Structure 1
């Protein structure tokens, strides 16, 4: 039976190969292990293999894991799911990164509720790059105003953009969506030089994301296996 350590190594290798193919240094691409719906033993198996960045999508589940693994102070927890207003306090108190800010109201609440004894939240704006009706994310048109608002929040540090494009098996279609997000990122970075993170690419589209310039890929299934519903 293949182990999580072996799956992790395969994911690292896939990133390295994709980076090499497009002339990039793989060390500039961070792997986030998406551990939602997975037990603590799986996270610990990845941790013991040297992995440190994990992502959760459900607030209650994520907070419980953060608390249960609080002794492992060098784990970096990312929140990547849709955010409801009544959940911002828990996210602000327990996570280091929030990748799914899509509106000013959520940014405002996270900023106000981030404890002052903690470093500012590292945040990404989620962009609904393919304008899908049932998907979270701001529009490309809303992006400049939201970035401007977040940049003024003391307890938030704007680091870049995140997107989950429309599902497609076509490399070209994937690449087109990622290229649009990259263009948004480059335009925004001209105004906010501190931007350094482009979070795009999952188990099914990592290669196209890396070719388009992704600096952070979010992989769950390829590391932990299929999730039980």
Structure 2
């Protein structure tokens, strides 16, 4: 990783925290209510360790085998640290057992069969697996997620599964450079999230916002942002 050092990761993490704090102030919000997930896919373990040493408490990974190898090297066990690990990528059915056993969160649940497998395969000795429904906002065929119109019903069904704890919603909006358009995509997810809360669902996580649009996401109510290159630098 060109230019990697513990100091560079710590400095970038500090800069991201400052951005989150500034965005929260601009929106009249408390930065403490916004959780920062460092997206560490294709990043070396040394960079992840530097981020943990600098206080990062949540890590996001897209690929199961890569993530499990990192967990083994860092000594992670679900619920036992040194950080909470979030699976945020598209999940194949043949990988659900490993994810259910090793991760603390799955943010990419987009269909009921996937949720049912995760619930069945979550070890009974562990706390229920934290999950978010991934919602497809935008028309990009390459993106995963439940259709916006169907996501509410999926959330209600997932909430009833015994070894899962439904925490909220997640989306990967289309890339935009215009802050108004960024906010418009985030607003779609936020509207569903707040509507489900009004129904009485105990949701506490609205996961949206990445390196290029975290300010828009915070302005629209994000409680979790997923930041990769702005913390770790370019991927190998």
Residues of 2 paired with 1:131 and 1:90: CA distance?
31
Map of 1:127 onto structure 2: 135
| 1:143-164, Cα deviation, whole Å (9 max, x unpaired) | 1221121111110000100000
- Unpaired stretches in structure 1, ≥5 consecutive residues: none
Give the C-alpha shift of residue 191 in structure 1. Answer: 2.5
Q: How does 1:1-229 map to 2 (within 5 A)?
A: 3-70=8-75, 73-228=81-236
Q: Which runs of 4+ in 1 moved over 6 A?
A: none
186-195 or 53-62: which moved more? 186-195
Q: TM-score, normalised by structure 1?
A: 0.96
Q: Is the CA contact 2:60–2:86 (under 8 Å) kept in the aligned structure 1?
A: yes
SS at structure 2 position matched to 1:141: helix
Aligned residues: 228
| 1:57-83, Cα deviation, whole Å (9 max, x unpaired) | 011101111122125733110000000
Q: Is the CA contact 2:152–2:192 (under 8 Å) kept in the aligned structure 1?
A: no
Residues of 2 paired with 1:203 and 1:116: CA distance?
36
- Unpaired stretches in structure 2, ≥5 consecutive residues: none
The root-mean-square deviation of aligned C-alpha atoms, in Å, is 1.2
SS at structure 2 position matched to 1:73: coil
Give the C-alpha shift of residue 132 in structure 1. Answer: 2.0
